[in-house]
Amino acid sequence: MTIKHELWINGEHTAPDSGKYFDVLNPLDDSLYCTAAEANANDVNRAVEAAHACFQRYGKTLAKDREKMLCKAADLLERDQAHFIDILIDEIGSPINKANFEIQYAIGHLRAAAGVARRVTGQTMPSDTPGRLSMSVRKPLGVIAAITPFNVPLIKAAKLVASPLATGNTVVLLSSEEAPSLSYRFAQLLHEAGFPSGSVNVVSGFGVDIGDTLNTHPLVKTVMFTGSSRVGKHIGELCGRHMKHAVLELGGKSPLVILADADLELAVRTAVFGMFLYQGQACMASSRIIVEEAIYDKFLAAYKAAASQLSLGDLREMSTILGPIISQRQRDRVRRHIDNAVEHGATIETGGNWQGHRCEPTILSGITQAMEVCYEETFGPVTSVYSVKDYAAALEMANDTPYGLSAAICTNDLNKALDFTDQVNAGMVHVNAPTLHDEPHVPFGGTGDSGFGREGVEVDVDALTEWKWITIQLPTADAGH
């Protein structure tokens, strides 16, 4: 029997206003996985109004109660992790290793967010007026719009919902049309954990149809979006026009620099993990690997050998690394980038072939600026390897991109490593580690076309609350005389 998802509004399964549902396909073979409600503008309005009504009460809840519910949610997710793993495998084609990572991250993020509730603190400050008490307090904003992608739907649901709840806000979550099941199941788990009806609402559908309705709704105070740079820029324009806060985590063309003195085995492992986890469908993927010429041939041979051995097996086998590309549209994009590169003179060092809906791990060389893959994000298991003369040339190439999400360098030269962390244009930099990394408490995000603002429980307090300055004129000692 096919799973059918209704909208989740005000703590209830709610039929869509249009009566329409859309198919969600298992990317392994495009078989029907579930159907989901196709929300329209009326549904979005209902969800936002439910969140706003709940905020009138929820915004006044005690920190200890929000903390308790988030801890309970983490426990419930730990209890139900096998079910969530099944959804990650069957709905979005996650190999089980990636699914396990996503579950553990989400559990950790819920627990980290629980601690945020007690860190929503203000301050007292001296006043220039005698006898005046001056202080500032933080207040929750209200309704937060959270828009999540298909590739890490549980991680992003945890990120973009837990911190708003921890800081006293309520949420309307618009899930990716390719991954609605995780969002609906996660919202119901939060309801079971004690979060009141209306605190978390989920609508599914197509962003092109209802995204602007949500983002421009007068009761929505902040938009938190993860997705493409093109859509992110559009959302940023809308938020600016309507004087809304925005946190935008967008695309990347992340460089991994490998210097001649690097540990070759470590460099290869770093390049394999950083590029091919979840078949390259990650904004932090190492899609540009820049190698000092002295070790280029040796690295390329080792990297090709390692990549060609990666398993495209059963998604529930721990040895499997690469799964299917999410949709036909995205498969066409991956094919186009490979074909365009070859047409313009690039060499396929390994891969380039398909097994069903899976693209083999593909390494390209001879990339030039005339090729789409040079600057555009492929979002598949396709990376380009470049040879450069020295560290200076590597740094220059690393910065030759409008993106600025993540970067990494493999070297045993501490001076060059520290210089790279200082000079590379990226919001996150890793030394002797992959470009692909995240933790709940860090300031996650990028610069340029990679986004605006940062995610993470430590910085979320600033993004999700606003300051209010309060003064109290105290009576003077001789007021009665």
Measuring CA to CA, how many Å separate 329 from each of 232, 334, 423? 19, 9, 36
CA torsion sign for 432, 433, 439, 445 is: positive
What spatial distance separates the first Cα and last Cα of the chain, rounded to whole Å? Answer: 83
Round to whole Å and give the CA distance between 95 and 85. Answer: 9
Backbone dihedral region for residue 348 (phi beyond 0: left; psi -120 to 50: alpha; all else: beta): beta
Q: In whole angstroms, give the CA distance from residue 435 to residue 383.
A: 13
Residue with tokens 């549902």: 21
- One of 249, 349, 360, 377 is an active-site residue; which one? 249
Name, in order, each residue with C-beta under 8 angstroms of 346's C-beta and a sequence gap of 6 or more. 364, 365, 366, 367, 368, 371, 373, 384
> Considering only CA atoms, which of 44, 55, 58, 57 is closest in space to residue 9?
44
C-beta separation of 26 from 93 below 8 A? yes
Cβ neighbors of 405 (< 8 A, separation 6 or more) are 250, 251, 252, 254, 283, 284, 426, 427, 428, 445, 446, 447, 450, 451
The contacts of residue 309 (CB under 8 Å, 6+ apart) are none
Distance CA 269, CA 371 (A): 27
Q: How many other CB atoms are there within 10 angstroms of residue 29's CB atom?
A: 9
249 is catalytic: yes
Q: What angle do CA 157, 234, 91 make, to 5 degrees?
A: 35
Determine the Cα–Cα distance for residues 384 and 75; give it in Å rounded to an integer.
42
Q: Based on the residue annotation, tell me whether 283 is a catalytic residue of this protein.
A: yes
Q: Of 34, 54, 239, 283, which is the active-site residue?
A: 283
* Dist. CA 79–CA 243, nearest whole Å: 41
360: which DSSP letter?
P
CB atoms within 10 A of CB 139: 14
Residue type, 150: F
Cα 384 to Cα 321: distance, rounded to the nearest angstrom? 19
Which residue is listed with tokens 């059963």? 314
What is the identity of the amino acid at 359? C
Strand-pair partners of 135: 124, 470
Q: Which residues are catalytic?
A: 249, 283
